[in-house]
Amino acid sequence: MRTDWLVVGAGFTGAVLAERIANQLGQNVLVVERRDHIAGNAFDHYDEHGVLVHKYGPHIFHTNSEKVWRYLSRFTEWRPYYHRVRAWIEGQLVPVPFNLTALRTLFPRRSAERIEDALVESFGHGARVPILRLKESNCPELVELAQYVYRYVYEGYTTKQWGLRPEELSPSVTGRVPVAVSVDDRYFTDTYQAMPLRGYTAMFRRMLAHPKIKIMLQTDYRDIAREVQWERMIYTGPIDEFFSYEDGHLPYRSLSFEMRHFGDSPHQPVAQVNYPSEYAFTRISEFKHMTGQNGSGTTVAIEYPERHEPGRNEPYYPIPRDEYRELYNGYLAKSRKLGGKVLFAGRLGEYKYLNMDQAVGAALSLFEKEIVR
């Protein structure tokens, strides 16, 4: 078998590149995917109760990029959706990011008023302020708030999520946690926030429906790379695996999901409820809030972070520590020696957490800069 391009992985990165190469260049693409489905981690399907669920955890689309929005809109219609998150703190469900409603619910009235005045005076109504900035302030009310949010919203959640204390992560992660100086409880602030009307997998099916694209599922590229003659490869799998872990493993955090079905819906008031301090799980997500599906029953995903063990569970999140970035840089240097025959891309190829829109944006620029020349 002969193909112009071998694309490893049918997630966002692989699918966008396969689509661009087939559509814009008219070249043949063979997409190999070791799972039994397309759409990578964004894969959704109907469970045995007929509820549309996200197999690898809740995926909410949001972007500020008009280019990405317009590109994906060729393959799907959208359902407007604003994601809302609550956290279970000291026996109350309060909005996350921590906002003025959370402040008024959890703090004694006088103290909440003082803190609110200080927030509005320092940053203006409507601002979103990272707790690092609050901590560095000279105002005792703001420092008190930063300490509270750090302790009740962030610390326990992060320790469960990463299996590390916050101090052991790159400081950029801790400092970014925002406080919203408003009662707006939308989780994201992006210009475009919506869910694909018929789901992610349906959108991927349309992206990949091109006569020049062939897809092989349940196929690891290593099993066919010698049998297939290819001119160039786009590799969206783990970069350390490509180099047979020569310099060591790049560590990931993994997750397991317990899917539970309930006869009555809704199960919870919003799509996502975080449990920063109690229980071994971090959050419960209810899909019907995101997909807008009607009907009586509902399915939720209860999310347990766990150590990644290659072969047993999925590599989900690259661990944000500087030493692992250095290990990755070593693999990157090796990849450059391949002279452009193999292009590494995507969250596993770049060992970098990418939101879906970032994965699409990066794939579109890779196409423009490295492929159409």
Ligand X SMILES: Cc1cc2nc3c(=O)[nH]c(=O)nc-3n(C[C@H](O)[C@H](O)[C@H](O)COP(=O)(O)OP(=O)(O)OC[C@H]3O[C@@H](n4cnc5c(N)ncnc54)[C@H](O)[C@@H]3O)c2cc1C
Contact positions toward ligand X, by CB under 6 A? 8-14, 32-35, 40-42, 56-60, 220-221, 236-237, 255, 316, 346-348, 354-357, 359
Apex 291 CA angle, 77 and 20, nearest 5:
40
Q: Which is nearer to ligand X, 119 or 290 (CB)?
A: 290
Selection from 50, 54, 49 nearest residue 200 by Cα = 54
Place of tokens 């025959």: 341
Residue nearer to ligand X on the CB measure, 141 or 318 = 318
Instruction: Tell me whether residue 224 or residue 327 sits nearer to ligand X (CB atom).
Output: 224
- Give, in degrees to the nearest 5, the angle at Cα 292 between 178 and 264: 100
Whichever of 42 and 102 has its CB closer to ligand X, that residue is 42
User: Is residue 283 exposed (0-12), middle (13-18) or buried (19+ Cβ within 10 Å)?
Assistant: buried
CB 216 to ligand X: min, Å:
9
CB 206, min distance to ligand X, A: 17
- Shortest Cβ 313–ligand X spacing (Å): 12
* Chain-centroid distance, C-alpha 231: 32
- Left if phi > 0, otherwise alpha if psi is -120 to 50, otherwise beta: which for 311? left
Q: How far is the CB of 54 from ligand X (least distance, A)?
A: 8
To the nearest whole angstrom, how small is the minimum distance from the Cβ of residue 134 to ligand X?
A: 26
Residue 20 three-state SS: helix
Give the shortest CB-125-to-ligand X separation in angstroms. 28
Alpha helices per DSSP H over the chain: 12-20, 66-72, 100-106, 109-123, 131-135, 140-149, 156-162, 171-175, 200-208, 221-224, 239-242, 287-291, 322-336, 346-349, 356-366
Residue (120 or 164) nearer to ligand X, CB: 164
User: Between 212 and 283, whose beta carbon lies closer to ligand X?
Assistant: 283
